[in-house]
Structure 1
C-alpha cells in the first residue's frame, strides 16, 4: 500500500512517488477551514486496476458538515466503483460529495471514501494530478510548499498478538506542519496505513505461529515521509485460540445483512450463542448486481445497505471483541464484526453471497456475453476480495480484504426459470451460468496465485428438478465448485392454500401437492445429473411457515387441510423465526420422525417447523446419504443459546 498526498501536479508509479511543483487554485469564500486536508492512499494493484482511498482529516475546531472534493486523474485512468460518497464525473475531472445518508466529519476526526480504479497496467500513474476540498488545496498548504519530512517514529514495540494478527505501538513523530499518518512496513512493503496522528496499529491476515519483522514511518499531508524506525520482531500465536474446526461435515450458516434491524441479530450473537465454534462457514447475504451487471453496495437509486455492511458503529456490548467502535476507525459495521469473529475463531471461512431472491433481477443480463461476464466477475472480486474498504488498511497484504471474505457464493434465483417477479429469464441462461462459474473459478484461482491465498466458490441451488434442468449443466459446473448448498426448505408455504411440510426429508404418501417435493427427491436429482454427493450440502430452515383458518381434518392435526390464508407473522405473513414459534402457548406438537418434520396446531393455526429433534434427524440422514454437510437459513432464527445449531453439531460429530 502507498499513502500519497494529493497536491498540484502529483503523479505516482507503483513503486515510487514523484513530487513536482504545485499550482494552487485560488480559494473561494467557502474554502475549507484551516486544518482540513485530504490524504490519498493507494492499496492493491492488479493487471487492470487498483484500489484507492481519500481520507478527509478535519484538524479544525469545527465540525465539517458538508464538503466537496474535486480531483483529476491521469489520462486512461477512471473510477470503476466507489463507496461512502456520491460521484459525478466530467472527463478526467471527478467530484465527490456526501452520500445520501450524510457524512459529517467531526472536529478532530476523519472520514474515508474508497474506490476501485481502472488503469491500463501495473506501472501506470494512477494518483490524482490535482485535488481540492471546498476549493482549497487538499494538502492544506495554502501558500508555501512543505518539504520537511516528519521525524522517524521511536519506541516501536509489539503489543497484543493473535494467530492472525500483530498489534504495534510507537511514540508520536514530530513535523513542522503536522503528521498525517503512519505506515507499517514488512521489509519494503507497506502492510498497514494508519490515518491520523495515532501511534499504533494492527497488521492482520498473518499466518499462525510465524515470526514477522516490522518498521514504521510517518508521513505528512504534503507527501513527505520520515526515515523508517528501528525494526521490531514478533510472532503470531498458534491456531486454536478460538477453537479448531469442528469435527464432521461442513456447517454453513447464512448471516443476513438486514437481521441487525427488526430481529436485532448481530454478528456477536453468533459468538455468544456458541454457534461460531460449531460453524465451518458463514455466507454473508447479499451482494447486489445492478443494471450495469456489476457488484455494488449502494447504487444511484439508493438501493443497498452500506451502513449495515461497514458504516454502523457497534457498542462494546454489541461487539465481538468487547470494544466499542469509534467514529474514526478504519472499518465498522458487519464487515468489521465478521473480521473480529474470524480473529477469535480462525477456522471460520466467510463467503460473500451474490444475488438472492431480490437481487437476482439483473443476473441474466450480466452474463449474456463474455465481456459482460468478465465485467461482473471483476467487479465482485475487486470490490469484496481484492479491493473494497478492507484492503486500504493493508491488513494481510494486497487482496486480503482485512481477511473478511474467503470466497464467493453464487445465489442466482433462478437461471432459465421463474424467480422473483420481474427477473429477466432467458433460455441461454443455462449455458451462460456454466460460463459464469468458469469465469469465477479462473479469476479466483488467479487471485489465489497472486495473493498466496485459497478462495472458495460455492452456490445455492434449487430443490425443483425442473429448475435444475432449466438452469444448470450439472456435470460441467460441479468440478468448479468447492461445494453447493441445496434448497431443503420452502417446499410449501402460505402462498398455497393447503397446509403441508416445508422441509420434509421424504415424500408423504398422501402429499396433496400441487408440487410434491422432498430432500430425497432433490438430492437424487442432483446426483443423477452428475453431482458428487460429497459436494452437496443440505439446507435446513431456522424458521417456520404457517397458515390460519385451518380445520382439524380427519387426523385432527390440521395437516393437508385448506386454510383461509397465511398465518400472521412479525415480519411478513406466513413466516416466523423458530425462536418465536418455540415459545408459542396453546398449541399441540405433532411429529413425523420418518419424514424429519414437526408442526404445531391449535385448532385454527398451523405452523410447519424444525425443532432440535427434526434437526438431528436431518443431520443423521445427510450423513447416511454421504452428503457434504448441512446449511442453515438463517442464523438469526435460532435462540440466544444456539439450540438448533447445537442439535446439528451434536448429530454431525462422528
Structure 2
C-alpha cells in the first residue's frame, strides 16, 4: 500500500476561457456554496484482463447547487496504478498518490446529480479499490459515522447465508439504522477442515466462498450504491463489509470460527502444539492477512486484508456434547486454553507487524456444568478481549413442553429445573470473570410449539405440546420480523423475567419484543456487564426496531 504524501488540497479553479458551454450556466459564487459534505464518490472495477483493468469513478452531488470545481485524491493498493484516465485531469503516481480534477473543458456535477469518468490501470492480481479517498477534502464515502458513544459493546452476528436465504444484505445494516448502533460485527461462520486448518470452498455444507467474496453484488444491494465488478478479486459480503467500515470507521469486524455445524474438527485442531500452531496460522493468513484462495476468479494474496479486525472462537463445545458429528475429548478443556494462548500470541505478532490490535473473543455457553467441564476461565480470560455468553435457547422445541427461551431470572411457576440469565452470568462471576468482559447474548428470533392446551392460566405457558410450530425457514423457530406480523395471537409478558410470548389457543411462541429487549438491556447495564450481543441481526425488522431498543437502553 502506498503512503500518502503531503498534497495541495486547494481546489483547482477552471479558467473562464476554458469552460465548456455546459459549465457556463453555473456562477463561481453558486459553486462555492456546495458543501463538501454533500459530495460522495463511488468506484467500480468494470473490467479486468491479464495485468490490466478498467475503473469507473462517479462523483455524487447531493446538494441543491451545481458544482464546477472539485478535487478528488486517493491512493491505490500496492501493485495497482493508473495507466490512462479520461474525462478528467490526472496528476500524481502510484507512489505519491493521485489527484483528479475537472478536465480543461470543465465538468459540472449537477445539483442532485453525478459526473462519471474512468481510467485504465495496471494490477498484480490484487484489489484496485480507492484508498484514503477524499473529495474536496472530505471522505469519499461521506462524513464517517463514529458509531455509538455509550461506551458499552453492541455486537451483532451477521450470517453468511442470510443474503441468499433471508434476503438480508450488508446494506440492510445501513438502511435499517443498525450499523451506526454497533461496535462489532461477528461474521458467521468460518470453517475448520479435517486437516485442522481454516479453509474456503463452495462445497455444499462446508463453505460458501461465493457468498463470502465471489458473488458480484449489484448496485441496488451495495453499501455505497456501486456494483461489484464481475472480475474484481474481492466481491460479495467481504467487499461490502470493507465498504461498511469506510462509512463506520470505528466498527470492528471479526470472523467467527465454528458454530453448531462447523465445530466438528476443533478438538483435533487443538490437540497438539503443532496442530494448534497450524490452525491459528491458517486462520490468520486466510482472514486477517486476507490471503483468499482463487475460486471462480475471485480471491488472491492479500485481497481481503483490512476486512477483519479479529477472531471470534465459537467452538460448541469443548469436552461436552454439541453437534453429534463433533469429536469430543476430556482434554479439550486444557487444549482450548492452549488454543486461545496460541491465537493471542500470533495475533500479537501480527499486531506488531502491522501496528494494529487484533481482537480475540469467544462465544461461551449457558450452564455451569458446561463451563467447568470445558473452560479454564482463570487461564483464558486474560487473553480474550471479551466473551459473549449465551442468553437464549434455555428451552426450545427439543423439549415437549412450552417454556421461556431467554428469561432473566427464574420463573416461580416453572415446574422443572430452572435455568436463567441470572444464574448463568453469576456462574461466570463466581469464577472470577470481570463483568465488563461479559457481553450478554440476546435472541432476535423465537422458539415455538403447536398442539398446546391453554393450561390453568389460559396462556399456554408450561404446557405439553405435540410438536414444533411451523416456521418460515425451519420448524420450531421464527424471526422477530415475522413474529411481529402474526395475527390472531394474544401477547403475554412477565416484566420481572424480561420475557414475552404469543399464544392463540393452539400455537405458542416465546420471543423478545422491543419491551423485553429493553428490559434485558437494562439488566445488563444495571449489573455492570460489558454490553449486548445479538444472534442474529437478520432477524430484526426493516426499521431495526430491536436494535433501536437495545441502543436506547445502552444510552445511545
1:411 has 2:314 as partner = yes
Cα deviation code 1:332-354 (max 9, x no counterpart) = 00000001111111111000100
Could you tell me whether the CA contact under 8 Å between 1:255 and 1:283 is conserved in 2?
yes
For residues 423-462 of structure 1, the aligned pairs below 5 Å read: 423-462=326-365
Match for residue 606 of structure 1? Answer: 508
SS at match of 1:484: strand
Q: 2:219 aligns with which of 291, 313, 316?
A: 316
Show the counterpart of 1:172.
84
Query: For residues 521 and 143 of structure 2, what CA distance do their matches in structure 1 show?
Result: 27
Q: Deviations over 1:107-141 (max 9, x none)?
A: x989xxxxxxxxxxxxxxxxxxxxxxxxxxxxxxx
For the 8 Å contact 2:291–2:305, the answer to whether it is kept is no
Structure 2 counterpart of 1:653: 555
C-alpha distance in 2 between matches for 1:402 and 1:424:
32
Checking the alignment, whether the CA contact within 8 Å between 2:181 and 2:547 is kept in structure 1 is yes
- Residues of 2 paired with 1:554 and 1:465: CA distance? 32
In angstroms, what is the RMSD of aligned CA positions?
3.3
Measure how far apart 1:247 and its partner are. Answer: 2.0
Report the equivalent of 1:366. Answer: 269
Distance in structure 1 (CA, Å) of the matches to 2:408 and 2:205 = 41
In the other structure, the counterpart of 1:57 is 49
Change (3 A) 1:301 1:329: closer
- Structure-2 change in CA distance of 1:362 and 1:158 (3 Å): farther
Whether contact under 8 Å (1:250, 1:537) holds in the other structure is yes
Contact 1:161–1:236 at 8 Å: present in 2 too? no
Matching residue of 2:94: 184
Q: 2:233 corresponds to which residue?
A: 330
Among candidates 433, 444, 458, match of residue 542 of structure 1: 444
Evaluate the alpha carbon distance shift between residue 399 and residue 453 of structure 1 in structure 2; reply closer, same or farther with a 3 A threshold. farther
**How far apart, in 1, do the equivalents of 2:342 and 2:402 lie?**
42
* Of 631, 637, 643, the match for 2:545: 643
How much does 1:313 deviate? 1.1
Shift of residue 195, structure 1, vs aligned partner: 4.7
1:496-520, Cα deviation, whole Å (9 max, x unpaired): 001000011101112233x421111
Give the CA deviation at 1:402: 3.7
- Within 2, Cα distance between the matches of 1:630 and 1:476? 24
**Residue from 273, 286, 294 that aligns with 2:176:** 273
CA contact (8 A) 1:172 1:197 kept: no
Higher helix share: 2
The alpha-carbon distance between structure 1 residues 364 and 596, as it changes in their structure 2 partners (threshold 3 A), is same
Contact 1:385/1:401, CA 8 A, preserved across alignment: yes
453, 462, 475: which is aligned to 1:560?
A: 462
- The residue number in structure 2 matching 1:290 is 193
Cα distance in 1 for residues equivalent to 2:253 and 2:73? 24
Partners of 2:457 and 2:328 in 1: CA distance:
42
TM-score by length of 1: 0.66
Query: Match of 2:527?
Result: 625
Distance across 2 between alignment mates of 1:197 and 1:365: 37
Aligned to 1:482: 385
1:159 aligns with 2:76: no
1:300 CA displacement: 7.0
Shift of 1:201: 4.5
Partner residue in 2 for 1:149: none
Cα deviation, 1:278-329, whole Å, max 9, x if unaligned, reads 0000000000000000001217787210000001111111100001112122
Aligned with 1:381 (options 280, 284, 287): 284
TM-score normalized by the length of structure 2: 0.77
Q: Distance in 2 between matches of 1:460 and 1:347?
A: 22
Secondary structure in 1 matching 2:241: helix
Q: 1:237: how far off?
A: 4.6
Residue 161 of structure 2 aligns to a residue in which SS?
helix
- Structure 1, unaligned runs of 5 or more: 3-54, 60-107, 111-156, 174-181, 188-192, 210-232, 392-397
Alpha-carbon distance in 1 for matches of 2:356, 2:524: 30
- Could you tell me which runs of 5 or more consecutive residues in structure 2 were left unpaired when the two chains were aligned: 3-46, 55-69, 86-91, 98-119, 295-300
Counterpart of 1:351?
254
In 1: Cα distance, 2:553 partner to 2:230 partner: 43
- Classify the secondary structure of the residue corresponding to 1:185: coil
**Number of paired residues?**
460
Deviation, structure 1 residue 387: 3.2
- Shift of the 533–481 alpha-carbon distance from structure 1 to 2, 3 Å rule, reads same
